[in-house]
Structure 1
């Protein structure tokens, strides 16, 4: 008995100070109630997870947990996932645990990507990165291929080539902005899929230089149909685009798989008039009737352009601005953009250009004030017709307009040159026929 009393006093003296009141007040023979009497096994198995979730002695705000570092959070997340599988389905405890798991993962992501005062604009390898403010749009990082969670992650977009990446991935970028290539080079690869082979690439990605192979070990090699080179899965997402070389040589518009950098380059170049078809493939005009039609319409528009530049009504009506999306149509008749060729194949360009040509011709034949002066009996130019005006070269037409509005006297030399310019091409055409 004396030994038992000593042992009891020793235990009482070394007990947990937080539980001392409960030990002294409660009878020795009374059994303390369990927290979850019906689920003792589950209670014991969830103790490691409860250390990070359930015990909250200091009343932390929602989302703050005892597990403060990344390794502890990962361990707690695994315990939480295991507990969700053990709990009964659709139970309240399972739902609460799922909510806690979501908070844990958000906390882990915050620790991986700590919020800092990131600059709004960063320049790297000719990229001009602008900090994005969108929190709801889900994007994919062009560097690590992971999803960008705008709600909790800082991300940037290049204003030149629209390259998107996490803030943490910016220092890993090795590819310069393709906008600089468009500005300096401004030309296409006109050979169809110019393959050089993996051995010439040293079995490495053409962009990031990571090891690749056709067997997929360590990474699958994916060929870009535009450059002909091989890329890894991070630099080649199997995006499809129309390849200019196949359009020019085969008149083929089927999208082909290209790498990410080629996709951005083709998107920036699609409206640039850098294709001179009569030099690259002049035989294309013999097989594509739409090209011949478009070329004739463009030649007529170029003949009408000087007339509009000297006509006050045409300038006020801004007729030439109807071609502002294709400015090269009022500068030359032999340069095409890739978008022009795509619209020609679908018939869209032929319809729109025919309408513009009709508006231009209507102004010259019916609406313009210069035409009645040219066709008046007192002018001495009774043989001038609307077709004659359309066939005049720009310089001669400009001289005629100046003649009527400023000189107001007959000029047989100008008329002779104009008449020769109008009739000589027809005579040559008749001789050839």
Structure 2
């Protein structure tokens, strides 16, 4: 006999037969319902699911039939398609019951078996559907404004984040979430109406200053044994919630507002030159992150003795003073403007405006040695342009009028001194050894006396 016409017989196990019969019964009932009421495709009303499916799934006396029907709930095409209308509470309850049934089956089935793997996959589908019903994405605006926060709807689905409000994981694949464009506060869409903390960006804009006292603790009794931010009851014993101290504010917070983040504390840097990170609350972490590059620290007023103990600060101050003396050359030089030399300091714009204001990032970079290396390189580039590359800038040099010897001098040279009145440049030794006044200042004063008096005579 030819093998072409031969059909190999196959047999179904009793369990497989029951699965097939159960599925056929479910499909047959669904078809009868659609023929009678004609619902849209991919829509299964809750009445059918609650009246017909639920009793057979969870209240059948036959354990095998109940197991198979519960697992089929997560694979029905009509159940997992997005409905046109809205779900009611009964649909969510049925999903929860199906999830519990799948969890029970996973524990009962043999480990690493195919049925256990299939049940795990169905459990995942059921949980995703349940989360989707609880947090739908329809009609979510792209921009929302709340308590000075400007929340922008995120499009990323694969990045794992944590909600700043409820401290739960944000599942971007199935949940809608927002990020504040000002302070980078992240939260679920469903948590936005629960936010009570204003945007930190507004505080930075209106009150750009640090707390300069080291951990100014006030005690839990002054806080009424409540979180300083959300007012949740807290205690040091962890009942009902653990009290965590913020090293920046000195106050105590609950675990939802204090995630044990670490940050460099400005007060410890200025007073102790200490850069060891300490634990801070979430709001302090965001504030310090936004403030780290702002030049708001005037070290000469806050702690002038710091320059006596930190040699790197003295070196940086001298480089900044030299750059300020180079700035007039670049402003009046066409080649320097075209080369945009001053833009090499665009990340530290305050370096070309003053020499006494520092940001926290400046002090961190000074401690690590990065700022000294980068600023020395920029200083060398600027000096090379003025003294070697540009003839116009060379022509603006000075000759020492006290000794009238030596090379052309510039105010940023290390061996020179500058007159505070007329900005003339001299050799340092010549300037301090001179017992008379500055020659240039004397000439300017003489010219003023010799100039004719153009004012009218009294009574004329």
Same fold (TM over 0.5): yes
Equivalent of 2:320 in 262, 282, 298: 298
The answer to whether the 8 Å contact 1:125/1:177 transfers is yes
The answer to whether the 8 Å contact 2:215/2:248 transfers is yes
Q: Structure 1 residue 356: deviation in Å? A: 0.9
Structure 2 residue runs of 5 or longer lacking an equivalent are 1-12, 19-59, 436-460
Match of 1:21 in 2: none
Higher relative contact order (CA 8 A, sep 6+): 1
Instruction: Name the SS of the counterpart of 2:78 in structure 1.
Output: coil
Equivalent of 1:249 in 271, 278, 284: 271
Instruction: Name the SS of the counterpart of 1:236 in structure 2.
Output: coil
- Per-residue CA deviation, residues 114-154 of structure 1 (Å, 9 max, x unaligned), is 23210000000000000001111111000001010111100
Q: With structure 1 as the length reference, what TM-score do the two structures score?
A: 0.78
- Per-residue CA deviation, residues 375-416 of structure 1 (Å, 9 max, x unaligned), is 799x9x9658443443686998xxxxxxxxxxxxxxxxxxxx
Instruction: Name the SS of the counterpart of 2:150 in structure 1.
Output: strand
Structure 1 residue runs of 5 or longer lacking an equivalent are 1-32, 397-416
Match of 1:227 in 2: 249
Is 2:203 the counterpart of 1:198? no
Matched residues in 2 for 1:425 and 1:198: separation? 65
Is 2:131 the counterpart of 1:109? yes
The answer to whether the 8 Å contact 1:240/1:258 transfers is yes
Matched residues in 2 for 1:428 and 1:279: separation? 33
| Aligned counterparts, 1:13-28, within 5 A | none
- Per-residue CA deviation, residues 51-89 of structure 1 (Å, 9 max, x unaligned), is 444379986365799995222222221121111211222
| Aligned counterparts, 1:58-207, within 5 A | 60=78, 69-207=91-229
Equivalent of 2:261 in 217, 239, 248: 239
Matched residues in 2 for 1:43 and 1:94: separation? 22
- Per-residue CA deviation, residues 151-196 of structure 1 (Å, 9 max, x unaligned), is 1100000000000000000000000000000000000000000000
Matched residues in 1 for 2:410 and 2:398: separation? 15
- Per-residue CA deviation, residues 341-389 of structure 1 (Å, 9 max, x unaligned), is 0000011101111111111111221122135545799x9x965844344
Cα pair distance change 1:330/1:86, threshold 3 Å: same
Match of 1:270 in 2: 292
Cα pair distance change 1:36/1:235, threshold 3 Å: same
Matched residues in 1 for 2:201 and 2:434: separation? 46
| Aligned counterparts, 1:300-339, within 5 A | 300-339=322-361
Q: Structure 1 residue 92: deviation in Å? A: 2.6
Instruction: Name the SS of the counterpart of 1:296 in structure 2.
Output: helix
Match of 1:427 in 2: 432
Matched residues in 2 for 1:170 and 1:383: separation? 74
Matched residues in 2 for 1:57 and 1:370: separation? 81
Match of 2:50 in 1: none
Q: Which moved more, 1:221-230 or 1:90-99?
A: 90-99
The answer to whether the 8 Å contact 1:306/1:394 transfers is no
Instruction: Name the SS of the counterpart of 2:210 in structure 1.
Output: coil
- Per-residue CA deviation, residues 254-304 of structure 1 (Å, 9 max, x unaligned), is 010000111111110000000001111111000000000000111111111
Is 2:238 the counterpart of 1:216? yes
Equivalent of 1:54 in 62, 72, 77: 72
Instruction: Name the SS of the counterpart of 1:387 in structure 2.
Output: coil
Equivalent of 1:45 in 63, 66, 88: 63
Matched residues in 1 for 2:418 and 2:149: separation? 46
Q: Structure 1 residue 48: deviation in Å? A: 4.5
Instruction: Name the SS of the counterpart of 2:190 in structure 1.
Output: coil
Cα pair distance change 1:372/1:98, threshold 3 Å: closer
Matched residues in 2 for 1:366 and 1:45: separation? 93
Instruction: Name the SS of the counterpart of 1:345 in structure 2.
Output: helix
Matched residues in 1 for 2:224 and 2:189: separation? 31
Matched residues in 2 for 1:392 and 1:364: separation? 18
The answer to whether the 8 Å contact 1:46/1:83 transfers is no
Cα pair distance change 1:376/1:154, threshold 3 Å: closer
The answer to whether the 8 Å contact 1:303/1:394 transfers is no
